Chain A
Amino acid sequence: MRRIMVGVKRVVDYNVRVRVKPDNTGVITEGVKMSINPFDEIALEQALRIKEQGLADEVLAVSIGPSDTQQQLRTALAMGADRAILVQTDAAMAPLSLARIFQKIAEAEQPFLTLLGKQAIDDDNGQTAQMLAALLDRPQATSCSKIDIADGKATVTREVDSGLETLEVDLPAVLSVDLRLNEPRYVKLPDIMKAKKKPLDVKSVADYGVTEGAAFRTVKVDPPPSRQKGIIVKDVAELVGVLKQKGLV
């Protein structure tokens, strides 16, 4: 079975304006819309396209999170994933622990390709894909904007600070995806009905021999410092005047 594993994280929807809790212990997540991490959605879309090209037989969606994460996995199944695994935990999890769980699942499921988002938009850590590649001792490519699979290899284009970089990696490999890789499909109603019948296994963190808990102690969470409101100039002459006064032009 030619299998692709995709990581799916439940995060605060990207349209939500995030607010810090008054007691500075975190951000407010109660009653807030939750969604699949947008980068993970792109990873899933890519997996589905590779399968639709006839280059894979099965797409497995994996998530680690609270029981409500089943909603996001059902969405992933409705998009077209064949089955899903939820490693259920209410605990905060260290990126390395997440990578270790993915490693155990990869060893059991033997995917030829693992696709993850380049970062989650909640903690912005950007670590899991690279760590998983290290633990599996397999190739990695991060921030991919183009992925071609052929002859047991992936040719990938990465978005890097200096432009675009192309790598060739032997499969199996772990790739993290960037925004411009694709535009994820919309889920249709019949697919949501079909997704209810697809297998979704619920596991525990202990099933994989990993311990729960965050990597670091949270000391506090603060709102970002706000910028002072500036001035509005009426025309170019005034703009140039102000800039000259500040020594900026």
Chain B
Amino acid sequence: MSKILIVAEHDGAKLNVSTAKSVTCAAKIAGATIDVAVLAADAAAIAAEAAALAGVSKVLVVENAANKEPLAAILAPQIAKLAAGYTHVFGPSTTFGKDIMPRVAALLGVSQVSDIMAVDGSHTFKRPIYAGNAILTVEAPAGAPVVATVRVASFEAAAAGGSAAIEKVDPGAALPSHTRFVSRSGATTGRPDLQSAAKVVSGGRALGSAENFKLIYSLADKLGAAVGASRAAVDAGYVPNDLQVGQTGKIIAPQVYFAIGISGAIQHMTGIKDARTIVAINKDGEAPIFESADIGLVGDLFTIVPEFEKALG
């Protein structure tokens, strides 16, 4: 019988949707019991959200002022203690989980299964390698805990409707003082979150400037979409790094993805492989993006985008 502990990701106030997606991944293991661990300074609201996820049996709450910010060196020893008695420990393959989970794995004396995209059995998983150009199926040994990160773009969020028990616990781990949080900067834009949005409008190098990127923001607002960008646009300084979509940025799975002035480098396509519909607008009809796009329109984005926005009424 698989007993799975999921490490909840949150911002101190709300649960991140990556947690509900990790629950869905865990639920693919037949007969699994799924618990969620919430480590926070003030956990009540977050734990209540986690307890409401369908499929969750129990929410373990560790409240500690030291857990205010998600520092791997602080969280990992606590998670490793909580992992006793569990066959699997899952976290999301977001920057949060990628940072923390390998540290947990090392403390438990195992290597990690990174980026689970499909579950073939309790110990058999599919994961992308070579930037998604190959899919590896691996079998972890049955006698050791499975520590893994879940590729959130591959799973839908678990629905609400659960009513799990909430239990306060004290893992009793010694916490280091060698790592200190200083600050976090990120845009609060009022737009949908890029990682979980149903619609995404992304711009590339062809936009030419930060000023011209307003075209993308404007279209996104018209569509109620999140804004993304190619690595080239981020490197050129048109937009901040947190908008980057691709292998080294965010891997997303929206219902519809608009790639505007994006050529479609492999590393970018890796980030949108799971998008339901890809729409490409590019003046170069030979651009690789058109090989993967469901709908393509060849032409000058500076004419097309305003026209498109207007046509949406």
Which residues of A come within 8 Å of B, CB atoms?
12, 17-18, 20, 27, 94-97, 99, 121-135, 137-143, 145, 155, 158-170, 173, 178-180, 215-224, 227-237, 239-240, 242-243, 246, 248-249
A142 touches B99 (CB 8 A): yes
Q: A215-B110, A248-B255 are in contact. Are A18 and B130 (CB under 8 A)?
A: yes
Q: Is the CB–CB distance between B109 and A164 below 8 Å?
A: no
B286 at the interface (CB under 8 A from A): no
Q: Are B137 and A127 in contact (CB under 8 A)?
A: no
Q: Is the CB of B279 within 8 A of A239?
A: yes
Q: Which residue of A lies closest to B223 (CB)?
A: A249
Taking CB atoms, residues of chain B closer than 8 Å to A237 are 311
New A-B contacts (9) at CB < 8 Å, excluding given A155-B182, A224-B128, A236-B308: A17-B133, A27-B130, A122-B129, A161-B195, A164-B240, A164-B242, A216-B138, A220-B137, A233-B295
Contact of B164 with A by CB under 8 A: no
Q: Which residues does chain B contribute within 8 Å of A249, judged by CB atoms?
A: 223, 312
Pairwise interchain contact B185-A221, C-beta atoms closer than 8 A: no
Contact B130 A12 (CB under 8 A): yes
Nearest Cβ distance between residue B121 and chain A, in whole angstroms?
10
Q: Is the CB of B76 within 8 A of A134?
A: yes
Chain B residues within 8 Å of chain A by Cβ, number: 84
A160 to B99, CA, bound (A): 10
Could you list which residues of chain B lie within 8 angstroms of chain A, going by C-beta atoms? 11, 71-73, 76, 94-96, 98-103, 105-107, 109-115, 120, 124, 128-141, 176, 178-187, 195, 199, 223, 231, 234-235, 240-242, 248, 250, 255-256, 266, 273, 277-279, 290-299, 304, 307-308, 311-312
Nearest Cβ distance between residue B82 and chain A, in whole angstroms? 16
Complex-state Cα separation, A235 to B109, whole angstroms: 58
State the CA gap A235–B298 with chains docked (Å): 8
Q: Report whether A165 and B183 are in contact in the complex, using a CB–CB cutoff of 8 Å.
A: yes
Contact between B106 and A135, CB atoms less than 8 A apart: yes
- Given A96-B110, A121-B130; A230-B295 close (CB under 8 Å): yes
**Contact status of A248 and B71, CB under 8 A, knowing A162-B242, A164-B185, A221-B134:** no
